[in-house]
């Protein structure tokens, strides 16, 4: 006759053994998932670094273009300033000629009235 303290002991041991196998299997799967996760992260990191490098290169190109445009703009401003100076001198010269012509016309009118 069996000791009543050991009733169901065999089933409990079998359940523990099965649970132990399940835990080992779950750990194996978790390790596999961890490896896959690490590989995925490495791929993402590599892709991000490539994209970040490409973005940096694009920003460098944009900065260079802005610098070139800024130099061109400065050159255009300088030329416009020079042209404005020339135009102002031409206007002043034209006004001076207008005054001289007015004097000549007045003198001619005075001589014409004296004759």
| Mean per-residue pLDDT, 109-113 | 82
pLDDT of residue 35: 96
pLDDT at residue number 2: 67
Domain boundaries, the chain: 8-114
User: What pLDDT does residue 115 have?
Assistant: 61
- pLDDT tens track for 12-67: 889 999 999 999 999 999 999 999 999 999 999 998 888 888 888 999 999 999 99
Q: Which residue has the higher pLDDT, 112 or 72?
A: 72
Q: What is the mean pLDDT of residues 68-80?
A: 94
pLDDT tens digits along 52-69: 888 889 999 999 999 999
Q: Which two tokens stand for residue 3?
A: 């000791």
Structure tokens at 107: 């003198």
Quick one: pLDDT at residue 89? 96
The reported pLDDT for the residue numbered 67 is 93
Mean pLDDT, rounded, for 80-98: 95
Structure tokens at 114: 């004296």
- State how far the Cα of 29 lies from the Cα of 38, in Å rounded to an integer: 14
Query: What is the phi/psi pair of residue 6, to 5°?
Result: -100, 10
Is a pLDDT exceeding 60 seen at residue 1? no
- CA distances for 94 relative to 19, 43, 101, angstroms: 107, 75, 10
């Amino acid at each position: 006759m069996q000791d009543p303290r050991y009733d169901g002991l065999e089933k409990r041991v079998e359940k523990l053994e099965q649970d132990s196998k399940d835990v080992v299997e779950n750990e194996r799967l978790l390790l596999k998932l961890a490896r896959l996760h690490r590989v995925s992260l490495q791929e993402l990191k590599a892709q991000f670094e490539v994209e970040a490098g490409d973005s940096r290169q694009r920003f460098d190109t944009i900065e260079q273009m802005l610098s070139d445009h800024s130099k061109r703009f400065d050159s255009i401003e300088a030329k416009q300033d020079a042209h404005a100076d020339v135009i102002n001198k031409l206007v002043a010269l034209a006004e001076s000629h207008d005054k001289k012509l007015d004097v000549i016309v007045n003198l001619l009118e005075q001589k014409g009235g004296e004759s």
